[in-house]
Structure 1
Amino acid sequence: MDKITLFWFRRDLRLEDNTGLFYALQQEKNILPLFIFDTNILDKLEDKADARVEFILDQIQSLKQKLEDRGSSLLIQHGKPEEIYPKLVEEYDIQAVYTNRDYEPYAKERDQKIEKFLKSKNIEFFTFKDQLIFEPGEILNGSGEFYKVFTPFSKVWLEKFKQSKIQELGESNWKNLYSTAPLPDFTLEKLGFRSTEIKIPSKVADQDIIQHYDKTRNFPAKEKGTSRLGIHLRFGTISIRKLALKAYGLNETYLNELIWREFYQMILAYNPTVVDKAFKPAYDAIPWRNNENEFKAWCEGKTGYPIVDAGMRELNATGYMHNRVRMIVASFLTKHLLIDWRWGEAYFASKLLDFDLSANNGGWQWAAGTGTDAQPYFRVFNPESQTEKFDKDLKYIKKWVPEFGTKDYPKPIVDHKFARQRALDTYKKALDQ
């Protein structure tokens, strides 16, 4: 039996500039790439027509074909990693497993289990930094603690980026791939999922969009105002190094968005309790109204606030929502309706193509005023003034809410002035106790 080394793909579905894969191919022989459709994750997806699963399968099939063109293949498994690895160890003579690090609570727990099992079989487990420029622990304040506010974090990040001379990796040593006949494919049906009509945005990092990002990013009607690369960063079909290097010098505002992504990863890594608790513990005392009919109206885009409804309908139809509108709808749910940010976060998690636990959690806690943001709870977005600023000609609203302006469009679910005051009073009372 041939001695092999596994490279385990997770959030890094590409062959180029892939740290763990690059070093496996450089340091070992007979590299067999592996991907596991993890049922610990998939079983929690209630909607079996999930465009993200379809996207992952498409990427896996593309990787498999590229590897087969090089005389190797991709070993695809479906199940719980902790049950799959013992079977693989029986089937193959595995010397080592290489993979890239993931910082979410489930991923860290999973990797600890797998590492423990592999070590019990005298198999090495090597992990690498790949989905971040600087991982948790690399950007700390003068006291050696993590930053709780974004601005100082971003300044240190930027300085470190300038000094670090980050580069993309060179060409991989493909001759060290394991030579094998094509391995079995998987289908959506076999995974228990169905196809969808949702289209995935291109992974091309458009130079023109990045260059003008600061001027175009806030206008949801603009066709090419943002790069739409969220899903590709989430699943690693594009390299963060490649994107950050492109943005650096081209557009500071765009690079800043990539820094926000790393800030929220760091917050989650140091504070795993934010998954279901407020970053600022005092805010767990807020008595949310949690009216289920109002939540349903929000989900369906029938609140009578056109910019909110347009955003929710865009999300439901495409799996995407413009970032400016994400802030508006999140503020509306938590402040106007006083519905728990966790309800909104979970809805976004079920719908967003680019759902990323740390960014979704960070964004929702920012909107609710419960997170790291230095701005206290009294920021309440006014949907009308936001519309006036960012969708003045109502192009975005008319695209997604065609009945706007007719008798078929619902009356506002709540009065803005009343809702704003109710939110301020509720928060103040809860925090003063």
Structure 2
Amino acid sequence: MDQGNTAFLLIMAALVLLMTPGLAFFYGGLVKAKSVISMMMMSFGAIGLIGVLWVLYGYAIAFPGAEGLVAPWSIDWSAIGLTSLLETPEGAAYPPLAFVAFQATFAIITVALISGAIADRAKFGAWMIFAAIWATIVYFPVASWVFNFGLADDGSFAYGGWTTFGMQEAFGVGVIDFAGGTAVHINAGAAALALALVLGKRVGFSKGAHVPHNPPFVLLGAGLLWFGWFGFNAGSELAADGTAALAWVNTLAAPAAALLAWLLVEKIKDGKPTSVGAASGAVAGLVAITPACASLTPGWAIVLGLIAGAVCALAIDLKFKFGFDDSLDVVGIHLVGGLIGTLYLGFFANNTGLIYSGDPTQLMVQAIAAFTVLAYSFVLAFIIGTIIQKTMGFRVTNEDEIAGVDTVVHGEDAYKLETV
């Protein structure tokens, strides 16, 4: 066992776990003052819920091994509860549980991302039920499609999900999604759009009606997300090597460029660059570089960041044009940014992208994977959300929304003003 790689993987897992509290601050600062506890609790609820489900059966669904190819949600029954993974096989680079830990943090953050679309108006209990069902029938299978693959000694695919092994068999190239552009961001963004449609608009929804109550929280959250994202992207190499170093540099370059591009668009559109815009631009760049971080030169990573920052800054206004209340722009940043990063690889991926090979096959397989995940997640999230809304109710009443979700649902206030 390589103790260096083991330490690397465990540290990267800890960094990715930190992203969810970072997301709680990012989202918490964007909502109303009387909804901040509710918003942050949805992220912390995801940590508790998905952490347990991953150990019980999530990993067994997502990583069934070579025997799980007939259906991507096949269960490796021996991995239920992870007892069979306590021992490290001879010659393994790291203990199996180190990989389990790393992938657990991906499942947690993906579920937590969705919550931003339903801020200010969702019941916590309904959210937890949705999260459990969606993770089970959407995230765990999609993670299997994208992340469950094994390589033969010559580096070719030996087995895996259909986006890797299946595409390789059918078209000669597999989908490139190094750290989760499809499985994490498109997946979460599509589910967020579905829930925004199910729950409907907030009271008084209109452009400029809901402003962030605490921009410093937003900046703090974005900083923690960016810090953790180095674990997200570089850690996906599962080894401390040159590919991890490339992913690290690209995880610096792309969001830095996206931050600048978002601020420029804000300046042109609204006359002022904002702190929330800077934070949002950085996150948009992080989203876009996630699938691409190991397959682009740093120069092309900067170009991707510029595109993602500018396009996502414009895409967040789509909710006003089409009339869906995606409270914290999960669709405009994660769905749109994930699509940009995933499709960009079809043109600029080292060796196989269109500009290098002259062959559009990589672009084709990237598009197939991206829009399949989008459709699968959206449809199932819409069905799950609708059933919950029609039965126990997903949304609080208008009166409770106006009074404040924190007090009504959690019996707490984020800020108390005391007089002596």
- TM bin, normalised by shorter chain, reads under 0.3
Q: Whose helix proportion is higher, 1 or 2?
A: 2
Q: Whose strand proportion is higher, 1 or 2?
A: 1
Larger RCO (alpha carbons 8 Å, 6+ apart): 2
* Pair member with larger Rg: 1
